[in-house]
Structure 1
Amino acid sequence: MRLSTQILLLLVTTAGGLTPHLAAQNYDLTGTLTQASDGSALPFATAIAYDRADSSMVANTTTDLDGQFTLPLTAGDYYLVFQFLGYDNKSLPGITLTGAQDIGTIVMGQSSVALETVTVEAERSQMVMKLDKRVFNVAKDLTGSGSTAADILNNVPSVNVDPEGNVSLRGGTGVRILVDGKPSAMLSSGDIDALRRMQGDIIESVEVITNPSARYEAEGEAGIINIILKKNKKKGVNGSFGLNAGYPENFGASYNLNYRRNDFNLFSNFGISYRRAPGGGTNEQRFLDGDGSLRQFYESVTDQDRGGIGGNFQLGTDWFINDQTQLTGYLLYRKSEDNNLTDVTYRDFNAGRELLSETVRDVVEDSGNQNLEASLDFKRTFDRKDREWTAVMQYILDDDLELSDITETVVGEQNPLFQKSSNTEYETNFLLQTDYVHPFNDSIKIEGGLRATFRTIENAFQVREGLNPENLTVVNNFDNELDYQENISAGYFIASGEFGRTGVQLGLRGEYSDVRATLLKTDDSNKQFYFNLFPSAAFTYQISETNQFQLSYSRRLSRPYFRLLLPFSNFNDTRNNSLGNPTLRPEYTDSYEGGLLKYLPAGSVLASIYYRRTTGVIQRLILPADDGTTIRFPVNLGSRDAYGLELNFNYDLLPWWKFSADGNLYQAKVEGRYLETDYSADITAWSARAANKFDVTDKLQTQVTFDYDAPQNTPQGRDLGVYSFDVGGSLDVLAGKGTLTLSGRDIFNTRIRRSVIDLPNYKSTSDFQWRRAQSVTLGFVYRLNQAKRTERPDGERG
């Protein structure tokens, strides 16, 4: 009985569906949707036909990859509505159909949220989702005025900059940092202070690439962070000027100017700043004998005041030779002079915590840094859309000098120990690169490129000491010179295609590495020659106009940067030295990632899962010695399997209230041994950020953010949790040409690195701040012939 009922219903339904076709003839109503911004096709948009008599929906369809649509309709009067997420609805009110008709091209303009450029107004930035990266418009960050690049990066989802200045991406420390897609003199490799010297006011956006394709250099197992500097190509003179003042001492000025006329665009960036900030911390250390009895117990207290003056100047030009050929050249010069004061006090105790002795080290360090960068970029486009040839030639010179005068005094004794340390570094980089993209049609294209980099570093470190400051002798164990040569040759090929709602990209990169590190005074050398293949793959599926699914894979490596190879780097704390390891080898990572992006009526949510398998993991170990000192020493420990889940969410709760949040849950299993000691560990960590932005009036905006990094295990102990609280506000003045900002970072001074080392023969508890993050800054920006990007309550942009 049930089967016969189903058959009857099917026959009735079929008959009902056939009746209109028997009654009237259908005609095809066709057309093409394009984007107002650049005239390109708009695929997957919805076209709906309504009966003009009663407004009932008659037919609907979606546009194809070329933006074309076909609506089968009977003769009659209709009106059409076109819809696409992030675009203003488009209506055509009067369509009278008497036969097949092509209504031509319909242009749709973007509203506040577009499929290719979904905006997330948050404490960090405006977020733009692209196929292989996320772009964060940090220029809109209200707490960024007067900040450094380190502060800016620490506010970007997935990125963490710890209190010592080390950058990690989703828990991985093998991060490649670029400026405008290339290495830069502004960020010397391995120099954690470089991010603090770079002014945040000159940064326009930050690109986060968690699973790079073969197009990118293979360096950076955790991914790539690309810092985009401000630049404008509007005709005429335009730009901006900035001033800031803050506490602790933070004073700066900057400008960003462009002049466009006819075939030339001149651009220049300049920034100068003076900063000083306190820092320091404590460290309690216990050394134990084999039976667990206390052998030595002391605590150290570090107080430091770091800072100085620094600036950068960039001048360049774009020459538009013709409509298809462009040549860009620029020069960049950066210089900084710092005077850093550090006091380290050691207090030695017996088992009953009675003070035995007290030793004080006073360190005065003068450091200077100069960078010069020259670049020439060529770009050639062709009549066929997306066909492009580019070439880059770049030269970087980096000169760094650190000189320290140290006085060590045992309280109650008359004869202090005098020491002098010097650390000089001279580095050159030369880059040649060319890339070509060839589309066969609107759906299929190939691309390839060649790249060669030549890098040389000369680094000398020496310590001299004695009881007479005028007659010091060299300490043999702290006297050497490193000659480092790194030559990398690479080529890649990528093929990609779009097939309906599906996109596929396959790539392969080959790199030959010639790396030589030689300690000249001890004649120790480490030569490495190796060729590697780095495949990549990406798959995307447009589930609907509001849902997109992505899968990706890449293989990458992280070469040890030269400071991990240099035996010595700093002599401030003689009881806890950081040493390098010239025998280090690269670590290799296979990375897998899947993501689901869903657009909401007033926001979006992105959920990503990832897995990374790393071999040859470089791990810095704390190694205690019998004399009551420790060294921090990097080794190729073993392997690491890391799993993670990341969630990014943003939503306009009200027209004047925007909320965003992101979280990352990370789990890793590290396996490895060094000197017969097992350092395997299971690590679970999570981090979260939440931001609220309020449009108090059309001219006044405020934002409040909270950041938390949970405690996590390490191969030798545990890192404790860290949190911070930031506030900011901006006020438009001078008829919108100027903006005042007031920001407070780390309001409660809680961004402090705290860690515990728990070994059978050594225990320590420490907290440390390289510089105090707590600060208040007042900034002012004046825009010259440059409108501020504003947001209206209805979501339209002006």
Structure 2
Amino acid sequence: MPIRLFLLLLTLGLSSSLTNTAFAQFGGPPGGGPGGPGFGNNDRQKKEFTGVADDTPKGNGRLTGVLIDSTSGKPVEFATIALISTKTNKPVDGTTSDAKGAFAMSKLAPGDYRLQYSFIGYKNTDSKPFTIGKGTEINMGSVKLAADVRTLGEVNVVGQAAMIEEKVDRLVFNADRDLTSKGGDASDVLKRVPMLSVDLDGNVSLRGSSNIRVLINNKPSTIVAANVADALKQIPSDMIKTVEVITSPSAKYDAEGAAGIINIVTKKNTLHGLTLNVDAGAGLRASNLGLNGSYRQGKLGITLGGFGRAMYNRSSSTLDQTTTVGTQLQRTSQQASSFDKPVFGQYTLGFDYDLAKDQSLSANVRFGTRNFVQQQTQLTNAYLGDALLYMTNRDVNRKDLSNSVDMNLDYVRTFKPQQEWTISTQYSRTGLVNNFYADLLNQAGSLTGRQQNINNNTNQEITFQSDYQTPIRKNQLLEFGGKAIMRQVNSAYEYLIGTGESALLKDPNNPAGTLNYNQNIGAGYVSYTYVTPSKYTFKVGTRYEYTGIQATQSTEQQAARQLVIPDYANLVPSINVSKTLAGGTTVKAAYNRRIQRPGLQQLNPNPNYANPQMVMVGNPTLRPELTDNVELSYSSTIKRTYINASVFGRLTNNAISQIRIPSDTLAGGIITTFQNIGVQRTAGANIFFNTTLTPKWTLNGGIDGYYVYMQGQTPDATGRSITINNSGISLGGRLMSQLTLNKGWSAQLFSFFRGPNPQLQGTMGGFYMYSLGVRKDLANKRGSIGIAGENFVGNGVTMRTTLNSPLLSQVNVNHLYNSNVKVTFTYRIGKMTYEENRRKGKSINNDDVKGDGGSDAGAQSAPASGGRPR
């Protein structure tokens, strides 16, 4: 891409995420941004929205304060604060709290007053009477708001946070309320989140589509881009505070992530002082240990954490497949058993510092490591017609190793409320090693040959971003920004073979090769939000992205050649409309277009022969896919039950689809690759609820389903490319119940199921899971000890997948022995006092790379989560 255009895109752009603080009844900022234009003391706005008259007496008095949740200590955003005259008992002024819970009123006339604080989900609270004189400045301090037991929208009864919350632009799952996922990893938590599904391998899908982006604390990571399932296993569940799902991103987000964005927010200490948290667990399938320290004093805050997790899982599988070669049928049967011994770790260091009252700087470094070792035995029989072709016995040792580093530096400058400028930078790099070593044995168990694959990969990203937002009048917000991403993907691979005990030599049938893939992205966006007096919120925006690609591929037998991958430009619009009705009911409608770029595993040209019957090879010439999304949702509170329902549709052209064809080098083998040949049409609906049966007993759950039609191409018996299609319905659901008992005891039950999932060439099998956990809080709630069981009846979960095309048919049955019992322990050392949250710099979100495989079904779009969109 020309340098001039690249720099132009970096500095231009426009975005919006209005959050008009006057609309407390929205339950959050309209449009889902970090805060909207406040009403200040504009008399006209006060009369329209708060009922305060235009002739409010003026003076030079001032008062300030901060609203916090009495249970969690978190700021209460966008609550209404009314200044009431004690003589007339009528409001004379008013304002709302900002994104940090802070509020202020100025130009107040002398007199006797009291304050009334109100917000959905909290009890109305009145302050003690006070007097304002000439020039008086009163600080109300930290005001604690208690939960309203009659309201379920965003909080639960008796001061407990709800398991599931729905905000204006996202769904929030409060993972720290989940007992049964303690001692697990992020994939265990995501299984419990509405609209998400996690299969037995840890692959995540949203409303039936695996085309999602996963962020950690609003930031991307190259290891997530390489393999989402493996990245999730590196994040301990005990450190996850919330999981946020956004299904209709605005123009502020990167245009990628056709199915949506999931943001995993880890626990961050916003207290003042020094503390050390210990999290430990031991179980039949995994053990973990984590230490997290935090120090905060004055303008400086420092955090340091280290976490490790070791797992030990057994699984088995059977494979029966038939392929057509000419006019003959080749049949293959295989039995395999494996023992997995993965070890994961991550280490973090972060700091934030207030440069001045209106400026702050924050930085973070995260290092992750993954050591996945698998031992597998494969017994294979192959037949041509009724004649036995061969029998093989393979002992395979797989080593998937990686290390990643993410470093970011963020600066924010606030000029006045809702007007700010941010600069964000990030460097991210992941090194991956995907190797296997196989011994080939005869029927007597003697060694007949050996095979080794060495595959080293790197994925590196450098990102620069700048954003600016400013209010226009009192109920509008304009935001714009620019972003540049420089991405490098490199892969080098080779195969070695040997006979018996002889030395390993290069395989002449599989020459070594390399891939060098450079991708530069320049983006600019503009977004505008308008909130009407009748409680309509309109957010419209567009984003322009230009992508330039240069890629070369070479092998020992072929010199480096330039791959023909044209540059491309995309204009992606987005429209979001919401309306608040009587009784707290909200209706929302949205449309957006998304693009999805291929990920590392889909580009990697290294053929993975760890199982020669099921070989996977990437396609470095893949182009992005485009998806149009529409969504309509409804949410309301009916007595003690909160309900959210939505319907959605999406259309994906040029879809990146998995294609399976018979191997031309091994009888009965199947090669899986990726091509831009698909069309996917998906329509679905989901509904979930959260209800309070008693003040100490809650129940929540939901059901979702979708219909998908897929069309693509595959070769037939004559070698010609023909069009094939498939369609089907998939259903899923979950149910969770939580009970708070006396003396610090609590219990939780969770269950989940996902029905069969249609694919272009067949159907992926369904699966289920359930768990039961009990926890006891220690004295002064400094820690807890708990025990939980998962799938403890029977002998694990079985998933059956079938594939069919003109050239092949396959039945693959996987059995995971995942029955588990685990004990967890947490303890906090140190003393902390509450400190108002600091203003942090906005961070970078690269929401633009497609995951590795997973379901072929659909591609619903949802941007990554919480915090600040990009």
Equivalent of residue 334 in structure 1, options 368, 387, 409: 368
Whether contact under 8 Å (2:152, 2:637) holds in the other structure is: no
Work out whether 1:660 is the aligned partner of 2:700. yes
Q: Report the counterpart of residue 22 of structure 1 in structure 2.
A: none
1:736 Cα offset (Å): 1.6
1:153 Cα offset (Å): 1.7
Amino acid at match of 1:587: E
Whether contact under 8 Å (1:684, 1:712) holds in the other structure is: yes
Equivalent of residue 611 in structure 2, options 573, 581, 594: 573
**TM-superposition CA deviations, 1:107-157 (whole Å, max 9, x none):** 893515799971469x99732322211222212211122212222222211
What are the residue-to-residue correspondences of 1:70-469 with 2, within 5 Å? Answer: 85-90=120-125, 109-111=145-147, 118-119=154-155, 126-185=163-222, 187-190=224-227, 192-248=229-285, 250-288=286-324, 295-348=329-382, 358-382=391-415, 384-412=416-444, 416-468=448-500, 469=502
Instruction: Give the count of matched residue pairs.
Output: 732
Work out whether 1:774 is the aligned partner of 2:807. no
Structure 2 Cα separation of the partners of residues 550 and 232 of structure 1: 34
Work out whether 1:647 is the aligned partner of 2:687. yes
1:631 Cα offset (Å): 0.8
Structure 2 Cα separation of the partners of residues 782 and 44 of structure 1: 38
Structure 2 Cα separation of the partners of residues 678 and 437 of structure 1: 49
**TM-superposition CA deviations, 1:302-339 (whole Å, max 9, x none):** 21112243322111211111222110112222223333
1:690 Cα offset (Å): 0.7
Amino acid at match of 2:216: V
Task: State the SS of the aligned residue for 1:564.
Answer: helix
Whether contact under 8 Å (1:331, 1:372) holds in the other structure is: yes
Amino acid at match of 1:232: N
Task: State the SS of the aligned residue for 1:617.
Answer: strand
Amino acid at match of 1:720: G
Give TM-score scaled by structure 2 length: 0.77
Decide whether aligned partners of structure 1 residues 216 and 40 sit closer, same or farther in structure 2, where only a CA change above 3 A counts: closer
1:83 Cα offset (Å): 6.9
Q: Report the counterpart of residue 605 of structure 1 in structure 2.
A: 643
Q: Report the counterpart of residue 3 of structure 2 in structure 1.
A: none
Amino acid at match of 2:334: S
Task: State the SS of the aligned residue for 1:139.
Answer: helix
Structure 1 Cα separation of the partners of residues 538 and 410 of structure 2: 29
1:741 Cα offset (Å): 2.0
Amino acid at match of 2:437: D
Structure 1 Cα separation of the partners of residues 370 and 186 of structure 2: 15
Task: State the SS of the aligned residue for 1:563.
Answer: helix
Decide whether aligned partners of structure 1 residues 119 and 752 sit closer, same or farther in structure 2, where only a CA change above 3 A counts: farther
- Structure with bigger strand share is 1
Give TM-score scaled by structure 1 length: 0.84
Structure 1 Cα separation of the partners of residues 471 and 802 of structure 2: 55
Structure 2 Cα separation of the partners of residues 218 and 752 of structure 1: 37
Task: State the SS of the aligned residue for 1:528.
Answer: coil
Decide whether aligned partners of structure 1 residues 414 and 430 sit closer, same or farther in structure 2, where only a CA change above 3 A counts: same
Structure 1 Cα separation of the partners of residues 823 and 344 of structure 2: 19
Structure 1 Cα separation of the partners of residues 353 and 570 of structure 2: 38
Task: State the SS of the aligned residue for 2:268.
Answer: coil
Decide whether aligned partners of structure 1 residues 777 and 40 sit closer, same or farther in structure 2, where only a CA change above 3 A counts: closer
Task: State the SS of the aligned residue for 1:477.
Answer: coil
1:495 Cα offset (Å): 0.8
Whether contact under 8 Å (2:233, 2:344) holds in the other structure is: no
Amino acid at match of 2:687: L
**TM-superposition CA deviations, 1:727-758 (whole Å, max 9, x none):** 11211113321111212223345544321123
Could you list the runs of 5+ residues in structure 1 that have no partner in the other structure? 1-26, 53-58, 69-78, 95-104, 790-798
Q: Report the counterpart of residue 756 of structure 1 in structure 2.
A: 802
Structure 2 Cα separation of the partners of residues 528 and 165 of structure 1: 34
Amino acid at match of 2:201: E
Structure 2 Cα separation of the partners of residues 117 and 490 of structure 1: 37
Equivalent of residue 739 in structure 1, options 784, 796, 805: 784
Q: CA RMSD in A?
A: 3.8
Decide whether aligned partners of structure 1 residues 261 and 471 sit closer, same or farther in structure 2, where only a CA change above 3 A counts: closer
Whether contact under 8 Å (2:203, 2:229) holds in the other structure is: yes
Amino acid at match of 1:612: R
**TM-superposition CA deviations, 1:558-611 (whole Å, max 9, x none):** 111121122225221112211112222111011111111102333411111111
Q: Report the counterpart of residue 4 of structure 1 in structure 2.
A: none
Moved more, 576-585 or 683-692: 576-585
Structure 2 Cα separation of the partners of residues 282 and 476 of structure 1: 28
Q: Report the counterpart of residue 737 of structure 2 in structure 1.
A: 692
Q: Report the counterpart of residue 719 of structure 1 in structure 2.
A: 764
Whether contact under 8 Å (1:484, 1:562) holds in the other structure is: no
Q: Report the counterpart of residue 722 of structure 2 in structure 1.
A: 677
Work out whether 1:546 is the aligned partner of 2:584. yes
Structure 2 Cα separation of the partners of residues 319 and 44 of structure 1: 30
Structure 2 Cα separation of the partners of residues 357 and 694 of structure 1: 58
Amino acid at match of 1:736: K
Structure 2 Cα separation of the partners of residues 763 and 39 of structure 1: 57
Amino acid at match of 2:782: K
Amino acid at match of 2:299: D
Structure 2 Cα separation of the partners of residues 224 and 124 of structure 1: 23
Task: State the SS of the aligned residue for 1:572.
Answer: coil
Structure 2 Cα separation of the partners of residues 563 and 280 of structure 1: 24
Q: Percent identity?
A: 25
Decide whether aligned partners of structure 1 residues 116 and 653 sit closer, same or farther in structure 2, where only a CA change above 3 A counts: closer
Structure 2 Cα separation of the partners of residues 705 and 596 of structure 1: 25
Could you list the runs of 5+ residues in structure 2 that have no partner in the other structure? 1-52, 58-62, 69-74, 104-113, 130-139, 716-720, 835-870
